[in-house]
Amino acid sequence: MTTRDDTKTTKTRLDALRVEIERRNPAQPEFHQAVHEVLDTLAPVLAARPEYAEPGLIERLCEPERQVIFRVPWQDDKGHVHVNRGFRVEFNSALGPYKGGLRFHPSVNLGIIKFLGFEQIFKNALTGLGIGGGKGGSDFDPHGRSDAEIMRFCQSFMTELYRHIGEHTDVPAGDIGVGGREIGYLFGQYRRITNRWEAGVLTGKGAGWGGSAIRPEATGYGSVLFAAAMLRERGEDLEGQTAVVSGSGNVAIYTVEKLLALGANPLTCSDSSGYVVDDKGIDVDLLKQVKEVERGRISDYAERRGASARFVPGGRVWDVPGDVALPSATQNELDENDAATLVRNGVKAVAEGANMPTTPEAVHLFQRAGVAFGPGKAANAGGVAVSALEMAQNHARTAWSPARVEEELAHIMGDIHTTCHETAERYGASGDYVTGANIAGFERVADAMLAQGVI
C-alpha cells in the first residue's frame, strides 16, 4: 500500500531530477516544459511501483537514445547557396522503431525537436501499436519557395538523413511544413540513394504509391473523436455544439471537416495574420481551396465567403465563444488569459490537435474550472496511429479501404480515451486526462524498458 511518505519521497526525487534535466539541457524551454508536465504526474505510480525508480529508468527515459544534427546546403532558383540545420532526435525505441514527424519551420531548434520527440514516446505508446518515439526537422522555411527549391532542399536533407532511418529503425512522417509534396521528394531521394523500394521508411506517402487512406485527415479526425468521447463521458453529445478551431493547416482543416460530419458547428480558423469568424460555420471546401491548393492567407477565405465571415487581423481566436475548443496550430498558442476567456464564455471541452498548444497555466485553469481537457499526446494521436497502420499495409504490400482505416482510427481513439480515463481513476485523479495519459503511456514504455535491461 502506498503511503503519503512514499509519495512525498518520490516527489522529492522527481524535483531533483527536474533540476538536473534543466542543468543538462540549457536554453531548451519547450523540452523542459514537456518533461515537467510528465514528471508532475508520475509520483503516484512511482510510489506504487518502486521498481520503476530503481534502474535509473526515468533518467534514461528523459535522455534521447540518439541526437543527430547536420548541415543542409541547397541552392535557390537564382543559384544562391543556403545552409540550414537538420535534426533527428531518436528518443526511445523500447516499444518499436522510432516514429515521429519532420517539421520544416524557421522556429525549429534542438529544444523544440526534443520536446516533440519526448511527447511522441507517450503518444505512440498510447496507440498500442508498437512504435517508439522520435522527431526531426529543420529551420528551413518552405513558405514562398518554389516546388523546385523545396525539392532541392528535401533532396539535400535526405542525403544525410537516409543513413539514420529505415523501416525497422526509424520511420519519419510529416509535421508542420512537411506534407505530401515534401514526403514525395524525400522518398524519391531515399530510393535513389539506397536503390531500395522500402515503402515503410516514410509515412504520409501518396495513396497511389504506398500511402494509407485517411492519413491526411487522421490527426484532425482523431482530435474531434477524442473531444466527442470526453463529452459523452459527461452525458453530452458533440452534435449541435459550437467549436473554436485555431490554425488552417492540415490538422485544422480536417478538424473542421470532422466537426461538420458529426453535426457540430466550427466557427473559426486562423493563420499567422489573424483569424476568421464564420457565423454560418466554416466552409471546408473553400478553406481547402484557399489553403491547400492556392496556399493563400486566411483573409482570402473571408473575402470570398461573403457576409457571414469576417477577418480579424491579429487578435486572439480564443476570444470567440464556443462550446468546444480545438487548438490545432502550434505549441503554446493558448495561454492562461485565453483559457480564462474561454471558461468565461462557457467552454465545456478542450482537445489539443497540435502538440503542446496549451501552456501549463492554462491547463491548470481548465482543470480547476471543470473543463474536460484532452492533452495532445492522447487527443492528437490519430495521425501517428494511422501512420502505424500505413506501416502495416506497406509490410503486407496491400492497401486498406478508407472505410476500414476510418473504422480502425475510431477504435484506436476510443481505446485511448478509455485507457486515459480508467488510468486516471485508478490513481485517484478522476476526470484528469493529463494524468491518465501520462501514466498510461509511461507504464507501457517503462515495462518494456525494464524487460530489456539497462541499455
pLDDT tens per residue across span 399-449: 999 999 999 999 999 999 999 999 999 999 999 999 999 999 999 999 999
Q: What gap in Å lies between CA 182 and CA 350, rounded to an integer?
A: 31
Radius of gyration of the CA atoms of the chain, in A: 21
> Does some domain include residue 422?
no
Identify whether residues 37 and 70 lie together within a single domain. no
Q: Which CATH number does the domain housing residue 326 bear?
A: 3.40.50.720
Query: Is residue 2 predicted with pLDDT exceeding 80?
Result: no
Domain co-membership, 176 together with 242: no
CA-closest candidate to residue 141, choices 150, 128, 129? 150
Using the 3D structure, point to which of 359, 379, 399 is the last residue of a domain: 379
Rounded CA-CA distance 374/355 in Å is 11
Neighbours of 344 (CB within 10 A): 10
Distance of CA 352 to the CA centre of its chain: 8
- Position 55: which residue type? P
Residue with cell 473553400: 286
Short-list 451, 449, 448, 437, CA closest to 127 = 437
319 inside domain: yes
Identify the pLDDT of residue 8: 76
Average pLDDT, stretch 373-377? 98
Let me know if 279 is exposed, middle or buried by CB neighbors in 10 A (0-12, 13-18, 19+).
exposed
Q: Per residue in 227-251, pLDDT tens?
A: 999 999 999 999 999 999 999 999 9
Q: Is residue 96 included in any domain, yes or no? A: yes
Dihedral angle of Cα 346, 350, 355, 361, to the nearest 10 degrees: 50
Any idea which residues carry the catalytic annotation?
A: 135
* Residue 381, C-beta contacts closer than 8 angstroms, at least 6 positions apart: 123, 124, 126, 127, 222, 412, 413, 416
Co-location of 77 and 48 in the same domain: no
pLDDT confidence of residue 10: 83
CATH number of the domain within which 81 lies: 3.40.50.10860
Q: How confident is the model at residue 1 (pLDDT cuts 50, 70, 90)?
A: very low
Q: How far is Cα 159 from Cα 428, in angstroms, rounded to an integer?
A: 50
In a domain, 439, yes or no: no
pLDDT of 3 over the 80 cut: no
Model confidence pLDDT, tens digit, residues 25-76: 999 999 999 999 999 999 999 999 999 988 899 999 999 999 999 999 999 9
Give the per-residue pLDDT at 4: 56
- Which residues on neighbouring strands pair with residue 132, listed in sequence order? 98
268 and 245, same structural domain?
yes
Strand partners, 86: 70, 138
213: in domain? no
Name residue 134's beta-bridge partners.
90
pTM (two decimals): 0.95
Whole-angstrom Cα distance, residue 411 to residue 11? Answer: 35
Same domain, 225 and 349: yes
Cβ-count burial of 195 within 10 angstroms (0-12 exposed, 13-18 middle, 19+ buried)?
Answer: exposed
Residues 225, 353: one domain? yes
The backbone torsions φ and ψ at residue 336, rounded to the nearest 5 degrees and listed phi first, read: -60, -40
Query: Would you say residue 5 has pLDDT above 70?
Result: no
Both 25 and 106 in a single domain? no
The residue among 216, 212, 208, 192 whose CA lies nearest residue 200 is 212
Q: What pLDDT was estimated at residue 7?
A: 66
Answer yes or no: is 348 within a domain.
yes
With contact defined as beta carbons under 8 Å apart, do 389 and 212 qualify?
yes
Are residues 73 and 53 located together in one domain of the fold? no
Co-location of 368 and 235 in the same domain = yes
> Which pLDDT tens digit goes with each residue over 239-294?
999 999 999 999 999 999 999 999 999 999 999 999 999 999 999 999 999 999 99
Q: Which residue range forms the structural domain that includes residue 334?
A: 218-379
* Final residue of a structural domain among 332, 357, 379: 379
77 CB burial (10 A radius; 0-12, 13-18, 19+): exposed
> What average pLDDT does range 84-110 have in this prediction?
98
Interval 111-120 mean pLDDT: 98
Residue 260 lies in a domain: yes
Whether residue 309 sits in one domain with residue 257: yes
Point out the domain boundary residue: 62, 78, 95.
Answer: 62
